[in-house]
């Protein structure tokens, strides 16, 4: 099995100024929870998606995405549209969240007093599809033969649960008695959404789960201990949840998982640490076909050693081009790193480096704009496209 594309990207792209200006009147431009979007903003959104799709086609950029232009933030538009879940825009920091949770800790240091989240108020069920309209908006800009060249992103099923204070993502009044029951119903909704999107022609979905890297964070692990949470049990619960949403997926629906350490406005990241502590479980106990991993900075993300746990038949997209730094990478350096990663896999699997290269691809390490207001320090629209074209150039030279 090989990755869908040798040159890939994580999905989100810098929003054009016309779209940001059209949304400037919104009360909370960095959130997507339950906002009423005026028609003028929707028209700007449609135009922005049309333009960015055409640019990707013209430049040969893969996968083709909508840049997440329909969302204010990468996880928006899903949870709050499920039956039984309700957006709470101003939950207090830190009281409503896990102790020493890296995201809210950093936000508090930046002056934030509240943070939005989605909580369970009743039994969770799948009603109207949260993301079908977004996929159709992307699809309508593609000839049918290019639907398979597209990729669509969704947030992790555990996104709300991991950040909220233990036993507050759901309450007894909501009808749940355990985290397992709550996450089981979330997983059922995801499974239903995968089928809906598949039936509408989508064949490639990426689940964004940057929070899995928090299990490599001493702050997160220490905070869980203070809260009486066993992180080994929590990670087991999360990997099982991912597998439950994948269990009934159509065989030709490609599913990948993206992990990073955050890429908010001004190149802010939330945690640091190697994949080492989670790699064996991640690669061998989750049923994804492809993993999109951040490797552009050794100090932040560690080296390639954790790739020794990758089993045959699975893929890794190496995030070697930074969306946090505006400087353009040296293609020779990127190619050297690809060979280093392939050597780790080859040695572990007992195959040649050439064979190991077959399960690899290259991409930027994260999206260029996780939210409307995010973006790497000094990153411009022009430099973003240069970086995406660099990824394509390197992929063409390595894999042909």
Q: Tell me whether residue 137 is in a domain.
A: yes
Of 218-232, 294-308, 360-374, the range with the lowest mean pLDDT is 294-308
Q: Tell me whether residue 5 is in a domain.
A: no
| Beta strand residue intervals within the chain, DSSP E | 83-92, 114-125, 152-155, 204-208, 254-259, 290-294, 315-321, 360-364
| 336 pLDDT higher than 80 | yes
| 30 pLDDT higher than 50 | no
DSSP state of 64: B
**Structure tokens given for 174:** 């909501």
Of 148-152, 257-261, 338-342, 391-395, the range with the lowest mean pLDDT is 257-261
CA distance 77 to 87: 10
Q: What is the mean pLDDT of residues 227-231?
A: 97
Chain-centroid distance of CA 224 in Å reads 23
Helix, coil or strand: residue 2: coil
pLDDT in the model for residue 267? 42
pLDDT in the model for residue 18? 92
Of 46-60, 183-197, 285-299, the range with the lowest mean pLDDT is 285-299
Q: How many other CB atoms sit within 10 Å of the CB of residue 58?
A: 8
pLDDT in the model for residue 263? 62
pLDDT band at 184 (very low <50, low <70, confident <90, very high): very high
CA distance 78 to 155: 8
- Structural domain including 74 reads 17-399
How many domains does the chain divide into? 1
pLDDT in the model for residue 41? 85
pLDDT in the model for residue 79? 95
Q: What is the mean pLDDT of residues 294-312?
A: 84
Pairing of strands 152-155, 83-92: unpaired
Helix axis angle, 39-59 relative to 381-399, nearest 10°?
A: 30
DSSP state of 4: S
Instruction: Give the residue with greater pLDDT, 324 vs 133.
Output: 133
Q: Tell me whether residue 168 is in a domain.
A: yes
**Contact (CB, 8 A) for 392 and 7:** yes
Q: Tell me whether residue 184 is in a domain.
A: yes
Helix, coil or strand: residue 187: helix
CA distance 352 to 254: 26
Q: Tell me whether residue 102 is in a domain.
A: yes
For the chain, state the CA radius of gyration.
20
Q: Tens of pLDDT along 37-69?
A: 778 888 999 999 999 999 999 999 999 999 999
Written in H, E and C, the secondary structure of 66-106 is CCCCCCCECCCCCHHHCEEEEEEEEEECCCCECCCCHHHHH
**Mean pLDDT, rounded, of the chain:** 92
| 26 pLDDT higher than 80 | no
Q: Tell me whether residue 156 is in a domain.
A: yes
Q: Tell me whether residue 293 is in a domain.
A: yes
How many residues comprise the chain?
Answer: 400
Instruction: Give the residue with greater pLDDT, 261 vs 142.
Output: 142
CA distance 153 to 162: 19
pLDDT in the model for residue 268? 54
Question: For the CA atoms of 299, 304, 309, 311, what is the dihedral angle to 10 degrees?
Answer: 140
391: domain CATH number is 3.20.20.210
pLDDT in the model for residue 266? 53
pLDDT band at 31 (very low <50, low <70, confident <90, very high): very low
Instruction: Give the residue with greater pLDDT, 310 vs 29.
Output: 310
pLDDT in the model for residue 110? 85
CA distance 41 to 190: 28
Q: Tell me whether residue 300 is in a domain.
A: yes
């Amino acid at each position: 099995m090989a990755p869908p594309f040798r040159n890939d990207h994580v999905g989100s792209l810098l929003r054009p100024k016309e779209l940001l200006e059209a949304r400037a009147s919104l009360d909370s431009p960095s959130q997507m929870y339950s906002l009423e979007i005026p028609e003028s903003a929707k028209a700007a959104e449609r135009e922005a998606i049309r333009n960015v799709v055409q640019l990707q086609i013209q430049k040969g950029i893969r996968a083709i995405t909508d840049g997440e232009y329909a969302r204010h933030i990468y996880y928006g538009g899903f949870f709050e549209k499920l039956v039984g879940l309700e957006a709470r825009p101003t939950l207090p920091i830190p009281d409503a969240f896990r102790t020493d949770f890296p995201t809210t800790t950093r936000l508090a240091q930046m002056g934030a007093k509240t943070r939005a989240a989605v909580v369970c108020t009743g039994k969770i069920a799948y009603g109207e599809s949260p993301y079908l309209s977004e996929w159709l908006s992307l699809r309508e800009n593609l000839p049918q033969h290019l639907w398979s060249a597209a990729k669509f992103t969704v947030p992790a099923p555990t996104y709300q649960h991991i950040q909220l204070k233990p036993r507050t993502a759901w309450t007894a009044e909501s009808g749940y008695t355990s985290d397992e029951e709550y996450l089981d119903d979330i997983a059922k909704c995801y499974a239903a959404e995968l089928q809906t999107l598949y039936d509408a022609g989508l064949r490639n979905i990426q689940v964004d789960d940057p929070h899995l890297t928090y299990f490599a964070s001493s702050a997160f692990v220490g905070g869980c201990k203070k809260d009486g949470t066993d992180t080994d049990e929590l990670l087991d619960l999360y990997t099982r949840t991912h597998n439950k949403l994948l269990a009934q997926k159509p065989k030709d629906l490609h599913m990948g998982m993206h992990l990073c350490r955050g890429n908010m406005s001004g190149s802010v990241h939330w945690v640091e640490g190697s994949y080492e502590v989670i790699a064996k479980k991640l690669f061998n106990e989750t049923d994804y076909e492809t993993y999109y991993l951040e490797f552009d900075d050794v100090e932040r993300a560690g080296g390639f050693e954790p790739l020794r746990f990758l089993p045959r038949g699975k893929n890794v997209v190496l995030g070697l081009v930074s969306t946090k730094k505006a400087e353009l990478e040296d293609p020779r350096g990127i190619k050297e790193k690809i060979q280093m990663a392939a050597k780790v896999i080859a040695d572990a699997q007992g195959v040649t480096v050439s064979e190991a290269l077959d399960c690899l691809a290259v991409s930027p390490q994260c999206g260029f704009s996780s939210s409307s207001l995010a973006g790497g320090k000094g990153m411009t629209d022009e430099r973003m496209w240069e970086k995406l074209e660099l990824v394509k150039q390197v992929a063409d030279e390595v894999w042909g």
